[in-house]
Copies of this chain bind each other. A is one copy, B any other.
Amino acid sequence: MPSPHAPLPEAAAPAGRRRLTPQVRMAQILDAALAEFSERGYAATTMDDIARRSGLSKGGLYAHFASKDAIFEAMLHRALAPPEWQESPAPPVHADTRTFARWLVDRLYAGLLHRPDAVVTLRLLAAERGRVKELLDLWERNVVLPNVAMLGDLLRAHVAHHGLPDGVLVREPWLVVSLVTHVLLTQMILGREPAVGLEHMRESHVALMCELLDPRARLAQAK
């Protein structure tokens, strides 16, 4: 496929123009749309931008989507689809607290911070909030709340199994999520990881969770 920027020598056009299946084309378009929308926002992104990045002409987009808005919506629908949790191994609820905390933190980082699309999508959601109200509600109901609930179940199970003292963290599992949102916000706004480094932050988060879940161990250690 000739790059859209090349002056395209007429003779170089291959005999058979690439004809892709609609599914592949639409995926290409949505990829391009995510990249472009997240770089410039909805209003500042033109159909030409998307067309160019997906290797199509402007008019060609309309063979697959009815409008710019339709592309945007389809793109977000795909990006906000609930991730597959099933394939993950069983959570080490019965392991020692440090192992358990590290596993939890790793899950959160993997789901939110290590996926480039996640930050990009959140940025778009914040920017175009007015355009996608109902999609946001859907996402909260289907993705956010269930995940927080599951988090609570895991925490309760771990505390019960080890006979750890009660604490806010167990009663308010969203506080765990709260921890990583700092990194998220930094990336959303400053566009880069916090200065201290992701690895350092993860260690701090694990340590914090350990202190909260097992204060006795901390006091014993502090002696």
Residue pair B129, A189 in contact (C-beta under 8 Å): yes
Residue pair A168, B129 in contact (C-beta under 8 Å): no
Considering only CB atoms and an 8 Å cut-off, how many residues of chain A contact the other chain?
Answer: 50
Interface string of A46-73 (1 = CB under 8 A from B): 0000000000000000000000000000
Q: Please tell me if A151 contacts chain B, counting CB pairs below 8 Å.
A: no
Residue pair B169, A208 in contact (C-beta under 8 Å): yes
User: Pick the contact of A185 from B40, B127, B185, B207 — CB < 8 Å?
Assistant: B185
CB distance from A114 to the nearest CB of B (A): 18
* Closest chain B residue to A200, Cβ basis: B172
Of A12-20, A22-30, A81-89, A210-218, the segment with at least 4 beta carbons within 8 Å of chain B is: A210-218
Q: Is the interface of A mostly helix, strand, loop or mixed?
A: helix
Residue pair B211, A194 in contact (C-beta under 8 Å): no
With a CB–CB cut-off of 8 A, which chain B residues contact A190? 129, 136, 140
CB distance from A223 to the nearest CB of B (A): 9
Of A1-9, A102-110, A175-183, the segment with at least 4 beta carbons within 8 Å of chain B is: A175-183
Residue pair B165, A219 in contact (C-beta under 8 Å): yes
CB distance from A172 to the nearest CB of B (A): 5
Residue pair B181, A185 in contact (C-beta under 8 Å): yes
Q: Please tell me if A125 contacts chain B, counting CB pairs below 8 Å.
A: yes
Residue pair B41, A128 in contact (C-beta under 8 Å): yes
With a CB–CB cut-off of 8 A, which chain B residues contact A207? 168
Task: Name the 8 nearest CB pairs between A and B, nearest first.
Answer: A127-B127, A43-B43, A178-B182, A215-B215, A43-B44, A165-B222, A168-B207, A181-B181
Contact surface of A with B, Cβ cutoff 8 Å: 39-44, 122-123, 125-130, 133, 136, 140, 165-169, 171-172, 174-175, 177-179, 181-182, 184-185, 188-191, 194, 196, 204-205, 207-208, 211-212, 215-216, 218-219, 222
Additional A-B contact list (18), CB under 8 Å, known A129-B190, A175-B179: A39-B130, A41-B41, A41-B43, A41-B127, A123-B127, A126-B189, A127-B127, A136-B191, A167-B218, A168-B208, A169-B208, A172-B196, A174-B196, A179-B179, A208-B212, A211-B212, A215-B215, A216-B219
